[in-house]
Amino acid sequence: MKLIISCAVINNLKYTKFFLESIVCSYPYEIFIIDNGSTDDTPNFLKKWGINHIRYNENRGFSYAYNDAIDYALKGDNNLLLFCGNDIVFRPDSINYLVEALLNTGFEMFCGNEVLNKEILQENEEAVENFKYKFSFDEPVYTKLQYSRGGMNHSCIIRQKSVFDKVGYYDVNFYPAYFEDNDYARRCDLAGVKYGTVDSAVFYHFWSRSIHEGGLRELNDRRFSLNAQYYITKWGGSVGNESHTFPFNSGSDVRISTRDDELQALKGFGVI
């Protein structure tokens, strides 16, 4: 068993460095990064430090990157996949808690415990610039594994291959981000995936840095309402008010089993 730790990046190298430097894990692991067209020093950094990655010249979106990570980690293998935002920082014991929970509880997927309120970092630029993992915030401290059912924070989420077998890939029609996580959660619920939150797996989150600092704000502003409407069309209601138990009330399975239509969808968005 190997743990694949993966994230998507677009610019914001300082946050990627925080993320990578915070990785502490007692289990065999490998890092895999999807670079969605960074124009800062990210490509040179990844190459210089020999970090396994794939690079695109354009931003193919969060779902496409997630699917790349799924292919790399889970398709045909018995690895575990931990996919995160590149704007998070782990407490030193958090990854071990996530793996321990997945291996010993019978759950198929867990998210970590986000403890950092985004307003702290938005209103205190010095906190961002000087942040280290030992930066003092009033977060809880855990001395043993603690977890609970429910919760699906895609900023930090670990899964077994069984989740892919039941639910499949992410829907790239949610582009570039937002609502793809709600869609996946809906599909997991309908497929009977058992998931929860590892309370003892604490991580700090700088919150949507790719949108706010990575150059995607204008694109996200244009796409956000379209993604919301697509979700309503797909599930017969907004998040928490769904009426369909099949996508588009079609009777088809919730599982997305192939990636055949992804590039065509991105062409429709003018991405490639």
How much is the pLDDT for 129?
Answer: 59
As to burial, measured by CB atoms within 10 angstroms (0-12 exposed, 13-18 middle, 19+ buried), residue 231 is buried
CA–CA separation, 266 vs 3, rounded Å?
Answer: 30
**CATH code at position 23:** 3.90.550.10
Residue 216: is its pLDDT beyond 80? no
Residue range 114-139, pLDDT digits in tens: 876 555 555 555 555 555 544 555 56
By C-alpha distance, which of 157, 160, 36, 174 is closest to 107?
160
CA–CA separation, 261 vs 191, rounded Å?
Answer: 22
Angstrom distances, CA of residue 193 to CA of 6, 52, 75, 185: 21, 30, 18, 9
Q: pLDDT band at 67, cuts 50/70/90? A: very high
The secondary structure element, H or E, covering residue 5 is strand 3-9
CA–CA separation, 55 vs 40, rounded Å?
Answer: 13
Number of domains in the chain: 1
Residue pair 45/245 in contact (Cβ under 8 Å)? The answer is no
In the structure encoding, which two tokens stand for residue 249, read together? Answer: 């009330």
Q: What is the mean pLDDT of the chain?
A: 88
How much is the pLDDT for 233?
Answer: 98
Residue 203 has φ and ψ, to the nearest 5°, of -140, 150
Average pLDDT over residues 161-189: 95
Residue 99: is its pLDDT beyond 60? yes
How much is the pLDDT for 217?
Answer: 57
How much is the pLDDT for 205?
Answer: 82
In the structure encoding, which two tokens stand for residue 238, read together? Answer: 């907004």
Output 178 or 77, whichever has higher pLDDT. 178
Average pLDDT over residues 20-46: 95
- Provide the phi-psi class of 256: left if phi over 0, else alpha when psi is between -120 and 50, else beta: beta
Task: Scan for tokens 């979106």, then name that residue.
Answer: 61
Residue pair 82/33 in contact (Cβ under 8 Å)? The answer is no
In the structure encoding, which two tokens stand for residue 191, read together? Answer: 């497929």
Share of the chain above pLDDT 70, in %: 86
Interacting residues of 224 by C-beta distance below 8 A, sequence separation 6+:
178
How much is the pLDDT for 18?
Answer: 85
How much is the pLDDT for 33?
Answer: 98
The structure's pTM equals: 0.91
Residue 256: is its pLDDT beyond 80? yes
Find the domain containing 116 and state its range. 3-268
Residue 195: is its pLDDT beyond 60? yes
